Amino acid sequence: MPALGLILAGGLALGAYQAGAYATLAADGRFTVSAVAGSSIGAINGAIILGNPAAVAAERLAAFWAQVAADPLDPFGLGFAPPRATSWASIAATRLTGVPGIARPRPWALATGGSSLYGNEPLIRSLAQFVDFDRLNASRFIAVTTDLHSADAVAIDSARVAVAPEHLAAAGGLLPNFPAMALDGRWLGDGGLSANLPYEPFVASDRAGAPARLLAIELFAPRPGDPVTLGDAAERSNDVKYASQSRLRLAGLVRERALEAALHPERSGQRLAQISYAGADEKGGMEKMFDCSHAALRQRWDAGARDAAAVLDWLAEPPPERGLLVRS
């Protein structure tokens, strides 16, 4: 089966979209996921995918997302409660009590001068439960973090270092919500601060060992329509902040690869499909990343499954002889 690389963006509970996309990919059976580069929740999803045998990776990913659900109005996911009320009740629950399996609140942070509102101890335990780190480090896995002193993107690459749970926690250390980590002589935080959708390890001209076929899964996307309320405006600002970062970097990489093709025609080409979560049915506004209700997680999962199915035939076609061919 052709090898496929995944490039996975950050976005906390929006990451259920990536899980749905992977479920479709695994069920399709035409590709072998051989490499993953991810930021924040994308790194966590990717670690579960590569840190388990392919035959059970989708099942393990689904189990992880099942434990993330926080739904006080609809605890069994029956869909009886009003959608907006369900979403905001979930957001209130996760903000007050933490994200199940990922973060716990640190209510003393404001009083004692701590730098994050939540601790990542539940995430460390979940990673020990859902990821075989020996298997993960035997594969090509890259978790992207940000050096909070220099603002540089820092790739934690299994080809060079033994990836540990603390590296994945650092990749999701989005201050002031989640803590940064002092690792490898650096103060590392969320990869989304520098490269939320980390194309570069597999796409840039200095790439090494990258698959010829790539699927990038973005969790923020531009969309038409004007914001009407303050909540709409805040949500749109956050979406555009991340989506524009990814679009600008990909445009630069396309130009870089065109130059590479002209100067080094012997270098093999790649085929990259990108799917993006539009989130038109989200009810949580800017706080949607903390909406862990069953309905929201299911809606994101289903959207990822549909969007992935739409690009798999295109990905199965032969890669170009040179350059970077993109479907977005």
Cα(40)–Cα(38) distance, integer angstroms? 7
Mean pLDDT (whole number) for 177-204: 95
Mean pLDDT (whole number) for 7-30: 97
Taking Cα atoms as reference points, which of 200, 212, 207, 224 lies closest to residue 278?
224
Please write the tens of the pLDDT for every residue from 259-301: 999 999 999 999 999 999 998 889 898 999 999 999 999 999 9
The whole model's pTM is what? 0.95
Predicted pLDDT of residue 72: 87
Site of tokens 């009320």: 85
Confidence of residue 230 (pLDDT cuts 50, 70, 90): confident
Q: Measured on CA atoms in the order 53, 54, 55, 56, is the torsion positive or negative?
A: positive
pLDDT at 238 over 80: yes
pLDDT at 110 over 70: no
Please write the tens of the pLDDT for every residue from 131-151: 999 999 999 999 999 999 999
